[in-house]
């Protein structure tokens, strides 16, 4: 501490306590001034501790309500986008063209939280424990594959195939391997080398258990579903990797024959394309960096 002795009138000592450099006076008040100085110093230390604690708490998330003025990431063109915009009007909603870009934004601190599908978050947390879900499940919906309105025959063929694998136990085995056990290897499925082409649009980095790239090969529940359908229908399967927001326009322009990505069946989308019978029920959750969450939620469970 820097101490400077000065002369002043008896009426002025208390004012000096608010200076950044404390001047201890040469008057009979010297003892009282020292006591006052220590009390003010203690008061300032306590205030600093309390303010620091509040700042650290305010920088973290304890509930979904804390996101009302935060940065929320969503997949462009997704149901999550609509939900976040409607539910959090004061938040900054940032759209991402791919799931991997949104996950990277959460991990790098560019956004405070993201919304993503529950099953993919289970796998994400399993392999990247620095992220976690928080809050209750937001909502759920049926998943369906998308078809052009003029291609009703292909949609009906897929529905017959789906009915068959539900009946013979193949579907239950797929759910058990991909969703319950968290496997990441494809079974041996014969390829159709001839026949009419079947061009399927999908999002390769959607994430397991549905679609991912492993050892330069597409794997996942949806990939197995599509490859089994190609055998069922005698079609030569070709994948076209796309951004999620481009899938419906590509189907409308007949650039692809069907949408094989994870897509929720909604009334708005049904105005543009036809959907297969539902093949899975999926939920959605918020996720963020674990260190930024005061109390994280339970890992979401497959809904089937």
Pairing of strands 113-117, 71-75: parallel
Instruction: Report d(CA 224, CA 230) in Å as an integer.
Output: 10
Q: What is the pLDDT of residue 133?
A: 94
Strand arrangement, sheet containing 131-143: 92-96, 71-75, 113-117, 280-289, 131-143
Q: Provide the residue ranges of all domains of the chain, joining segments of one domain with +.
A: 13-58, 64-139+285-292, 145-277
Under 8 Å between Cβ of 115 and 74: yes
pTM of the model: 0.76
Q: What is the pLDDT of residue 303?
A: 55
Instruction: Report d(CA 106, CA 291) in Å as an integer.
Output: 12
Return the CATH number of the domain spanning residue range 145-277. 3.40.190.10
Pairing of strands 197-202, 258-259: parallel
Band of residue 51 on the pLDDT scale cut at 50, 70, 90: very low
pLDDT of residue 53 exceeding 80: no
Query: pLDDT tens-digit profile of 233-287?
Result: 999 999 999 999 999 999 999 999 999 999 999 999 999 999 999 999 999 999 9
Band of residue 300 on the pLDDT scale cut at 50, 70, 90: low
Under 8 Å between Cβ of 206 and 116: no
Band of residue 4 on the pLDDT scale cut at 50, 70, 90: very low
- Region 132-154: mean pLDDT is 96
Structural element, H or E, at residue 30: helix 30-58
Return the CATH number of the domain spanning residue range 64-139+285-292. 3.40.190.10
Using omega within 30 degrees of 0 as the cis cutoff, is the peptide bond preceding 114 cis?
Answer: no
Instruction: Report d(CA 157, CA 149) in Å as an integer.
Output: 14
Three-state DSSP at 176 gives helix
Looking at the chain, the whole-number percentage of residues with pLDDT higher than 70 is 77
Q: What is the pLDDT of residue 7?
A: 37
Q: Do domains 64-139+285-292 and 145-277 have the same CATH topology?
A: yes
Query: pLDDT tens-digit profile of 165-214?
Result: 999 999 999 999 999 999 999 999 999 998 999 999 999 999 999 999 99
* Exposure class string for 180-219: b at 16+ Cβ within 10 A, else e: eeebbeeeeeeebeeeeebbbbbbbebbbbbbbeeeeebb
Neighbours of 35 (CB within 10 A): 9
Higher pLDDT, 82 or 41: 82
Instruction: Report d(CA 221, CA 244) in Å as an integer.
Output: 18
- Region 67-80: mean pLDDT is 95
Band of residue 230 on the pLDDT scale cut at 50, 70, 90: very high
Q: What is the pLDDT of residue 294?
A: 87
Q: What value does the mean pLDDT of the chain take?
A: 84
Q: How far is CA 186 from CA 135, 202, 225, 239, in A?
A: 33, 17, 11, 16
- Region 80-94: mean pLDDT is 96
Q: What is the pLDDT of residue 50?
A: 41
């Amino acid at each position: 501490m820097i101490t400077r002795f000065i002369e002043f009138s008896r009426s002025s000592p208390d004012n000096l306590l608010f200076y950044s450099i404390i001047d201890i006076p040469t008057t009979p008040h010297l003892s009282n001034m020292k006591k006052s100085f220590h009390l003010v110093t203690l008061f300032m230390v306590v205030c600093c501790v309390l303010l620091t604690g509040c700042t650290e708490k305010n920088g973290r998330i304890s509930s979904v309500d804390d996101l009302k003025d935060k940065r929320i990431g969503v997949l462009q063109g997704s149901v999550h986008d609509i939900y976040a915009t409607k539910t959090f009007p004061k938040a900054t909603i940032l759209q991402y063209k791919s799931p991997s870009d949104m996950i990277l934004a959460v991990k790098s601190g560019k956004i405070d939280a993201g919304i993503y599908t529950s099953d993919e978050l289970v796998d994400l947390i399993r392999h990247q424990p620095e992220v976690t879900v928080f809050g209750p499940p937001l909502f759920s919906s049926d998943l369906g594959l998308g078809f052009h309105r003029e291609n009703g025959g292909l949609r009906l063929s897929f529905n017959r195939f789906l009915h068959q694998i539900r009946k013979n136990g193949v579907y239950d085995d797929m759910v058990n391997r991909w969703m319950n056990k968290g496997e990441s290897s494809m079974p041996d499925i014969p390829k159709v080398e001839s026949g009419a082409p079947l061009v399927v649009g999908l999002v390769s980095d959607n994430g397991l258990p549905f679609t991912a790239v492993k050892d330069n090969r597409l794997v996942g529940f949806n990939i197995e579903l599509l490859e089994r359908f190609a055998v069922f229908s005698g079609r030569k399967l070709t994948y076209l990797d796309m951004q999620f927001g481009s899938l419906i326009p590509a189907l409308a322009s007949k650039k692809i024959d069907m949408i094989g990505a994870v897509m929720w069946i909604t009334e708005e989308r049904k105005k543009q394309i036809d959907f297969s019978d539902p093949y899975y029920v999926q939920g959605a959750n918020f996720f963020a960096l674990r260190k930024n969450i005061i109390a994280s939620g339970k890992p979401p469970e497959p809904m089937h």
